[in-house]
Chain A
């Protein structure tokens, strides 16, 4: 039996986020919200462990009230329970405040063998929350797991990709792992679970429900501040090569050769 908690985040579909070059602003209109893609791998891995060893999968998310849709989507994939942390007091959280809030919620959920996170969220891209949450829960963690090779009694063996190669790590449970793309192929929602999801009540917890210290949540609990946003400038004077393919290629190689690049 394994009690599993999967942390998921609702993010704008970044493939669709664009910049209005006239105003330098993010164009958000018409951009859909989706489950962070890496979290889908995390959820899939959690569901597979549950199917193999029995137990429960609880999905946990922090976000605005509409993030409930993300949780419902997770239920339609086969999660058993869903909890949304939504409170105006959580707004403006950086990764330190987020991990504090999630840790408080995990402690309220109670017993767990494994917490899963995606390796990073595609909107913030920090990859902080997983390891930070593990620290706050006082458990070991492994990042960017690409394979769970063995689940033993009170421990598991996982593989992670590093610059050097693949590392095989044995980790005692309870623990937290963040998963990388390539670990699995996430499933599609099933009709049975979809019906289930539509009927399910999704619990919404406020700051006081998890006993959060107001100085540690939201903007107040966030040491980092964004002080400036700029649009990156791409100013390379691209040179378009002319002529037939053969001529362009000869031209390119001689230019690279002259510039001592080749």
Chain B
């Protein structure tokens, strides 16, 4: 494994210097030199140097497994109380395309208690086959039990690709499964393609705080595993007539280790506001001046029937809880409408919201980077613009029609789940 400059061929042309995303190449005495400490072996320089072919990237391609024995695109079907997660439908839609390109089946894995009806739904949404594991022990998501069952299924049926949603469940589960199988896992993908030459899965994800997009492959291990960001792909459409196979998986119950136990779920509290699922998000930033002023953000969100989001700066300042934070270290959102108020638009914020369908930016500074990703730009003080916007929206949308996402912030539904 390594990279080297073939000195006889190098003309010192600097094409590679410009191509390297890591600034790892310098030219000294008309020869390219690679700083190995900075190099990520991404091969961008090799492509740039096609003309002279002076850079050699040595990748030890030593498949330890027979890849042809691994077939099928699998989607982990996330469900809570029989309700399929939206991201699962998105994965079924994207998984269908990958499976068709490979000429392999699309399968879903479903774990739970009394979820046979959900298995049928998964077929309607595109699965050719559903592996169904049912047990009271699988009624709620527990990492170790789910890891046990899923790795068991994977070892037995050898899928080529396994996709999970990058949700609280998927992000906690996928690394355990990948580690037990000693295979590669790519986090938070926003793009999936099949390499036409190698048939490998090309997994694209933001890197370095969203400054770069990295494409990652898992060439010599199977299955190829990826977690995929919600709301990036279109959801699959239901087709009531579709037929598929439901395979019941019998595992040994006693093998499920239960070192963690879910005691309770507290729903519906304001802090748990699910901005990732909202169709309209109004987000506030430091330009609002103080915590008190954040109320106008909440108010505009309310009249639009949406949710309130925030930049990292205002969460750090303690104006609103972390659950509202949008961006690299917060949540990634993709609403139909995103209104950024007093947010300058650091790249870390942009990566969390730039794929929103329509973006409105309100900022005093005409040079604010947020305007580079916006469809509609208002250069002005959010403290003046937002209240005016509330009045204007109320004209076309009387209050009673608005449907706030959080119905009652004080309401606490609490119920204990199996002891």
Contact = CB atoms under 8 A, between A and B. Distances in A.
Given A163-B167, A241-B377, A226 B183 contact: no
Contacts of B271: 161, 166
A99 interface: yes
Given A25-B20, A92-B41, A252 B179 contact: no
B260 A245 contact: no
Interface stretch (A49-57, A170-178, A196-204): A170-178
Dominant SS at the A interface? mixed
A208 interface: no
Interface string A96-112: 10010000000000000
B241 interface: no
B373 interface: yes
A165 to B, nearest CB: 4
Interface in A192-227: 219-220, 222-227
Interface in B262-279: 262-269, 271-272, 274, 276-277
Contacts of A146: 322
Given A140-B259, A249-B388, A240 B176 contact: no
B220 A167 contact: no
A190 interface: no
A164 interface: yes
B211 A249 contact: no
A171 B261 CA distance: 6
Interface in A75-132: 92, 94-96, 99, 120, 122-132
Contacts of A229: 21-22, 40, 42, 44, 207, 212-215
Interface in A132-177: 132, 134-136, 139-144, 146, 157, 160-172, 175
Interface string B345-387: 0111011001001111100000000011111111110001100
A43 B295 CA distance: 34
A179 B413 CA distance: 25
Q: For chain B, which range describes its interface: under 10, 10 to 19, 20 to 34, or 35 or more residues? A: 35 or more
Contact of B265 (A27, A28, A166, A181): A166
A249 B389 contact: yes
A238 to B, nearest CB: 5
Contacts of B80: 164
Contacts of A26: 21-23, 208, 211-212
A165 B168 CA distance: 11
B209 A17 contact: yes
Of B212, B269, B328, B358, most A-chain CB atoms within 10 Å:
B212
Nearest to B18: A23
B323 interface: yes
B373 A234 contact: yes
A135 B171 contact: no
Interface stretch (B100-108, B185-193, B245-253): B185-193
B64 to A, nearest CB: 10
A245 B380 contact: yes
A30 interface: no
A228 B214 contact: yes
Contact of B187 (A126, A239, A252): A126
B191 to A, nearest CB: 11
Interface string A37-49: 1100000000000
Nearest to A185: B318
Interface in A3-39: 14-15, 17-19, 23-28, 37-38
Nearest to A218: B1
Which of A18, A19, A180, A252 has the most chain B CB within a 10 Å cutoff? A252
B171 A127 contact: yes
A19 B376 contact: no
B20 to A, nearest CB: 6
Given A140-B259, A224-B216, A236-B373, A163 B187 contact: no
B296 to A, nearest CB: 13
A191 interface: no
Given A131-B175, A245-B385, A163 B277 contact: yes
Interface of B: 1, 17-23, 37-38, 40-44, 59-60, 80, 85, 143-144, 147, 167-169, 171-176, 178-180, 182-188, 202, 206-221, 257, 259-269, 271-272, 274, 276-277, 304, 315, 321-323, 325, 328-329, 336-337, 346-348, 350-351, 354, 357-361, 371-380, 384-385, 388-389, 392-393, 396-397
18 contacts: A25-B23, A27-B23, A92-B1, A92-B41, A123-B209, A128-B187, A131-B174, A131-B179, A132-B179, A141-B176, A161-B323, A164-B80, A166-B272, A167-B262, A168-B262, A169-B261, A220-B60, A225-B219
8 nearest A-B pairs in the assembled complex, by CB-CB distance: A223-B184, A140-B259, A229-B21, A126-B187, A162-B168, A165-B267, A228-B215, A131-B175
